[in-house]
A = this chain, B = another copy of it.
Amino acid sequence: MNESIERLESGVRGYVRSFPTVFTRAQNARLENESGQSYIDFFAGAGTLSYGHNNPVVKKALIAHIERDGLMHGLDMATDAKLAFLEIFERVVLKPRSLDYKIQFTGPTGTNAVEAAIKLARKVKKRSHVISFTNGYHGHSLGALALTGNSYYHDEHYGARNNVTHWPFDGYFGDTTDTAAQLRQVLSDSSSGIPIPAAIILEPIQAEGGINVASDSWLREIRRICDDLDIALIIDDIQVGNGRSGHYFSFESSGIVPDMICLSKAIGGGLPLSLVLIKPELDVWQAGEHTGTFRGNQLAFVAASALLPLWGDDTFLAQYSRNCANAHAELARIASKYPGVELRGKGMIWGLAFANGALAGTITKRCFESGLVIETAGADDQVVKFLAPFTTEDDTLAQGLSILSNAVDDVMANVSTVKLAH
């Protein structure tokens, strides 16, 4: 570990422990450290770098903006960069999907987008209760933390579980138990002890929770419950939106229309940006009622505006589709070799679930030693999580998957009995 880090940075530092080197340069799916050693990046800033490190369109746009003295910081004043983003987002994302949303820029962190969404739902519905799900991950500020399942992040003295019910996610009790039907039952029962909430918040694909994919039918039943009981449905698409699922939004295959959508991570091309899409009839905020200093990160607007048009770019789309298919095929092949290893996922987010966190951790450690940055997820960190950039070149993808395959083989060769952990 670097000595200055040790001396000066809080013990809370995390990823630097998994990837203990000093990175200095990065291009697309490759990182380089201070010794000039190259790493393939299948972690991509926890999905933030979906368009790769230093995407050329981003670099060019940022330099031009800085050179011409464009604003860097604008609070929530109007700027040309912000207007450009709003209009491109409308044209590329909203219009083609016939979606009608107001856009709230929050402080540029995912947790802040979640805080804003649940506050607005509580204000609109005049109820304090919210439902989130087992293995859900929504952030670390107290409002969002209450919605986050993993007890590692909780402490008795934070008092952070108030006004939240965690309900079993799709498939939590196995394939034969319909947890949406059970949710409808308790919410329809005035004596269940679980009040009608202001909002139900969920990730259609739980990423930190272990790559748990909700079925389209389950999502549709949740949507109907919300309709029937006047509940706001909030989709947290912070990690799995922006194209990660194979569609721009992770819920698109289900056909549902959420009441609010939280977006962050990849939207700003690596630069901090967060927003909440709000159905117009729910947008009852008073001016400045939820505020924050960095809601106008102009460089992120510039980067986002440069990247969104890629969704109309044939070269980009072809690479994206090939990567989705190739990753799926190779990961399925790896999983099929070992009983008890399960592949979960969709599009460009995949998880190889192992029997326990020790196995998965050994595999990712071995990957790093072989030049691949890849992380784990899940309650016990038992899932190896594939999050490569959409723009990864064919050979880099193949090479990274090969490193992963070898690491799995090495580790699994030494395991006699394998049991899949949930």
Residues of A within 8 A of B (CB): 2, 4-5, 8-17, 19-27, 31, 34, 45-46, 48-49, 53-54, 58-59, 62-63, 66-80, 83, 86-87, 89-90, 102-105, 107-112, 115-116, 119, 122-123, 125-129, 132-136, 139-144, 146-159, 161-166, 168, 172-173, 177, 182, 185-186, 189-195, 198, 209-210, 264-265, 269-272, 276, 278, 283-294, 297, 299, 378-380, 422
Closest to A44 in B: B73
18 contacts between A and B (CB under 8 A): A4-B87, A8-B86, A8-B102, A9-B102, A10-B278, A15-B76, A15-B77, A23-B77, A31-B71, A72-B269, A111-B112, A122-B157, A136-B193, A152-B289, A166-B194, A173-B182, A177-B177, A190-B380
Q: Smallest Cβ distance from A321 to chain B, in angstroms?
A: 25
Report yes or no: A151 in contact with B294, Cβ–Cβ below 8 A: no
Interface centre among A168, A185, A264, A294 (most CB of B within 10 A): A294
- A69 contacts across to B, CB distance below 8 A: 25-27, 53-54
Bound CA span A23–B79, Å = 5
Report yes or no: A63 in contact with B67, Cβ–Cβ below 8 A: yes
Q: Smallest Cβ distance from A290 to chain B, in angstroms?
A: 5
Contact partner of A292 among B9, B16, B139, B293, CB < 8 A?
B139
- Further 18 A-B residue pairs, CB within 8 A, beyond A12-B285, A12-B290, A132-B193: A11-B283, A23-B80, A24-B71, A34-B80, A45-B73, A58-B72, A62-B66, A63-B67, A109-B292, A111-B141, A119-B158, A123-B155, A135-B191, A152-B288, A154-B195, A159-B163, A166-B193, A264-B293
Report yes or no: B45 in contact with A75, Cβ–Cβ below 8 A: yes
Contact partner of A25 among B70, B134, B190, CB < 8 A?
B70
- A299 contacts across to B, CB distance below 8 A: 271, 299
Bound CA span A69–B270, Å = 13
Report yes or no: A4 in contact with B72, Cβ–Cβ below 8 A: no
Closest to A150 in B: B191
Report yes or no: B189 in contact with A127, Cβ–Cβ below 8 A: no
Closest to A144 in B: B141
- A24 contacts across to B, CB distance below 8 A: 70-71, 79-80
Closest to A114 in B: B141
Integer count of this chain's copies in the complex = 4
Report yes or no: A76 in contact with B14, Cβ–Cβ below 8 A: yes
Q: Smallest Cβ distance from A165 to chain B, in angstroms?
A: 7
Bound CA span A310–B161, Å = 45
Report yes or no: B194 in contact with A119, Cβ–Cβ below 8 A: no
Q: Smallest Cβ distance from A25 to chain B, in angstroms?
A: 5
Closest to A151 in B: B190
The 9 closest A-B pairs by CB, nearest first: A166-B193, A142-B143, A14-B288, A191-B379, A141-B141, A12-B285, A73-B270, A149-B193, A10-B104
Q: Smallest Cβ distance from A171 to chain B, in angstroms?
A: 12
Report yes or no: A16 in contact with B140, Cβ–Cβ below 8 A: no
Contact partner of A53 among B19, B71, B127, CB < 8 A?
B71
Report yes or no: B76 in contact with A191, Cβ–Cβ below 8 A: no
Q: Smallest Cβ distance from A341 to chain B, in angstroms?
A: 20
Report yes or no: B293 in contact with A271, Cβ–Cβ below 8 A: no
Report yes or no: B112 in contact with A107, Cβ–Cβ below 8 A: yes
- A141 contacts across to B, CB distance below 8 A: 107, 111-112, 115, 141-144
Contact partner of A54 among B62, B66, B192, CB < 8 A?
B66
Closest to A86 in B: B8
